[in-house]
């Protein structure tokens, strides 16, 4: 019986600026580099909730989002500088889980990589809501990266 190894041509990795997400990016690069897989790094700006921030608050929020985008761009470029395959950074706005899954569908990704970032007191036992949603609704292989202790 011969088995075909799983295809690993495209990896999608979610990055939100946290150390856990950059751990996921580095893991995706290590795995993808073995086969020179294309990597799409996805950063999702979440939509503002229904409450109003007022003009000053909205400007401050937009400035913080722009600063986070710049950080993610800089860090992604630094961490992917020696990557042997191709990679792109895509910034979207919306629900994080939905947008990451949409990019995975649009690129026909073979693997989605996310960081483990739970705010639960039982951190090691429960996935964060975004990782959990992606794992349960993706329909694709999902790797949850846990940074070293």
Condensed to tens digits (0 to 9), the pLDDT of residues 40-78 reads: 999 999 876 656 667 787 788 888 889 999 999 999 999
Range with lowest mean pLDDT among 17-21, 62-66, 103-107, 116-120: 116-120
SS3 58: helix
What is the predicted pLDDT for the residue at 120? 47
CB atoms within 10 A of CB 134: 25
Q: In what order do the strands lie in the sheet with 38-45?
A: 87-93, 38-45, 10-14, 111-115, 141-145
Number of helices (H) and strands (E) in the chain: give both, helices first: 4, 5
pLDDT tier for residue 136 given thresholds of 50, 70 and 90: confident
Query: Could you name the CATH architecture of 36-121+128-145?
Result: 3-Layer(aba) Sandwich (3.40)
Neighbouring-strand partners of residue 87: 39
Q: What is the CA radius of gyration of the chain?
A: 16
The model's pTM is 0.86
What is the predicted pLDDT for the residue at 1? 56
Residues with Cβ within 8 Å of residue 145, at least 6 apart in sequence = 20, 23, 24, 27, 28, 113, 114, 115, 116
Phi first, then psi: what are they for 28, rounded to 5°?
A: -60, -40
CB atoms within 10 A of CB 16: 20
What is the predicted pLDDT for the residue at 18? 92
Residues with Cβ within 8 Å of residue 35, at least 6 apart in sequence = 8, 9, 85
Mean pLDDT to the nearest integer, 20-24: 94
Neighbouring-strand partners of residue 144: 114
């Amino acid at each position: 019986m011969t088995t075909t190894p799983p295809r690993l041509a495209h990896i999608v990795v979610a990055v939100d600026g946290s150390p856990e997400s950059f751990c996921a990016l580095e893991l995706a690069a290590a795995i993808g580099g073995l086969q020179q897989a294309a990597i799409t790094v996805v950063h999702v700006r979440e939509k503002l909730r229904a409450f109003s921030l007022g003009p000053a608050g909205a400007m401050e929020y937009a400035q913080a989002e722009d600063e986070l985008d710049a950080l993610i761009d800089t860090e992604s470029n630094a961490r992917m500088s020696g990557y042997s395959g191709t990679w792109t950074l895509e910034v979207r706005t919306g629900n994080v889980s939905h947008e990451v899954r949409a990019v995975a569908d649009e690129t026909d990704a073979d693997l989605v990589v996310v960081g483990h970032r739970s705010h639960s007191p039982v951190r090691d036992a429960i996935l964060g809501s975004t990782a959990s949603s992606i794992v349960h609704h993706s329909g694709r292989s999902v790797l949850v990266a846990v940074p070293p202790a």
